[in-house]
Amino acid sequence: MSGVLLWVVGPKGNAASLLNLEARASKKQRRPRLYPAGVRVVSVVSAISSSVVSPSRSSVERVYEVVLKQAALVREQRQEEALDVKKPEEAEGLTGGDLLNEAYERCGEVCAEYAKTFYLGTLLMTPERRKAVWAIYVWCRRTDELVDGPNAAHITPKALDRWDKRLNDLFEGRPYDMYDAALADTVSKFPVDIQPFKDMIEGMRLDLRKSRYMNFDELYLYCYYVAGTVGLMSVPVMGIAPESKASTESVYNAALALGIANQLTNILRDVGEDARRGRIYLPQDELARAGLSEEDIFRGKVTDKWRAFMKEQIKRARKFFDEAEKGVVELNAKSRWPVMASLLLYKQILDSIEVNDYNNFTKRAYVGKAKKLLSLPVAYGRALVGPSTD
């Protein structure tokens, strides 16, 4: 149950499968595959990070090592930009020209269909950043639908292994279709590393074999896999403001916090829906301390114990949102508004759970159109706040 966002935009919410987007994206001439020649490949860290697979460390420590590796890539890019280091120009025609432009256009169509508010915000970005964000969004959505879409019942671990191999090919400049080609081009232009993408696939593997989480440490790692990874993917594209004095690591930590906050919000919103699928994404030890059991979840009755438990869960999610907001102001000026708007909108889902008297068993918390519209100028005002300069 991924809550994938580009910092904040979730791909859930439409039953139409995106695994075969090539067949339905537009009425233009279909091309089953797109292999733009000359796609450059950036160097990446190890495909399987030792910091993630080591069982002797807490989830926070393991994830933080991944954060440090991603931050190092962006820090190197910022140093090159400060020194005005010129990248070698590509020979004309090596990127597939019109075909690649069409690939990006189709990614934009998907983003516009499934994440309307965020899509409008991306229009404020530079064309290069905007297209890159669209490409990452489509890959994340397609990955999420492997285990959360209409064909989820037929997905096996081997299918995820094939998707993983396809990712490797993509990063090596061998895309399978137009959407892959757009992402292959993106990772050749920005210091985007393969590790967060692989970790997201690992989150999908968890969904196939695990339906209970004993404590928050386990849940935190799951939230990183399925949502925190998106923040790490998108920071290099969103860009950090040149005048920002914040450390690259702190910006990455904020992006990670936003992914965790979003996924915790998804979990709290979807308790009833997940229970009907036999899944409980709440820490088992915290449920027990609150005097609650799995039977209480499946029964779906709001009690004083449930209200008290939910208050604590919402409080924790809000802390992650607060931590995330500190990093949004450090982003490139043209990236701040869409991220801030999405953050505020998603955070309001927690308010809706409270309005529903914590009944997330039979009532779905959502933010109405009026509140969404009112949030946009607020987000714009906050986005105008410049980054730290000392």
- Structure tokens that stand for 332 in this block: 């490139």
Within 10 angstroms of residue 364's Cβ, the number of other Cβ atoms is 14
* 79-102 mean pLDDT: 56
Residue 74 in contact with residue 240, Cβ under 8 Å?
yes
Output the CA–CA distances (angstroms, integers) from residue 71 to 110, 239, 360, in the order listed: 29, 12, 37
Cα 107 from chain centre = 16
Spatial separation of the C-alpha atoms in residues 314 and 10, rounded to whole Å = 19
The region of weakest confidence among 15-19, 90-94, 108-112 is 90-94
How far is CA 345 from its chain centroid?
Answer: 15
Counting every residue, how long is the chain? Answer: 390
Of the listed ranges 72-86, 189-203, 372-386, the least confidently predicted one is 72-86
Choose among 130, 271, 159, 144: nearest CA to 200: 144
pTM as predicted: 0.81
pLDDT level of residue 132 (50, 70, 90 thresholds):
very high
Whole-number Å distance between alpha carbons of 196 and 176: 20
How many whole angstroms separate alpha carbon 12 and alpha carbon 149? 9
Average pLDDT of span 350-373? 94
pLDDT at residue 379 above 70? yes
The residue type at 17? S
The confidence band for 387, taking pLDDT boundaries of 50, 70 and 90, is: confident
In this prediction, residue 118 carries a pLDDT of 81
Cβ contact 22:30 at 8 Å: yes
Question: Sign (positive/negative) of CA torsion 226, 232, 237, 242?
Answer: positive
pLDDT at 17 over 70: no
DSSP string, 187-231: HHHS---SHHHHHHHHHHHHHHH---BSSHHHHHHHHIIIIIHHH
Looking at residue 37, what is its pLDDT? Answer: 32
Q: Is the pLDDT of residue 185 over 70?
A: yes
Q: What is the mean pLDDT of residues 72-93?
A: 55
Q: Which two tokens stand for residue 351?
A: 């308010």
State what percent of residues in the chain have pLDDT above 90.
62
- C-alpha–C-alpha distance, residues 252 and 234, integer Å: 10
Q: 């004083």: which residue's tokens?
A: 304
Average pLDDT, the chain: 83
Model confidence at 28: pLDDT above 50 = no
- Taking the C-alpha atoms of residue 356 and residue 348, their distance in angstroms, rounded to an integer, is 13
Q: Which two tokens stand for residue 15?
A: 């039953």
160-178: average pLDDT: 96
Higher pLDDT, 182 or 92: 182
The tens digit of pLDDT for each residue in 43-78 reads: 333 333 333 334 457 888 888 888 888 888 777 766
Q: pLDDT at position 38, please?
A: 34
Q: Is the pLDDT of residue 32 over 80?
A: no
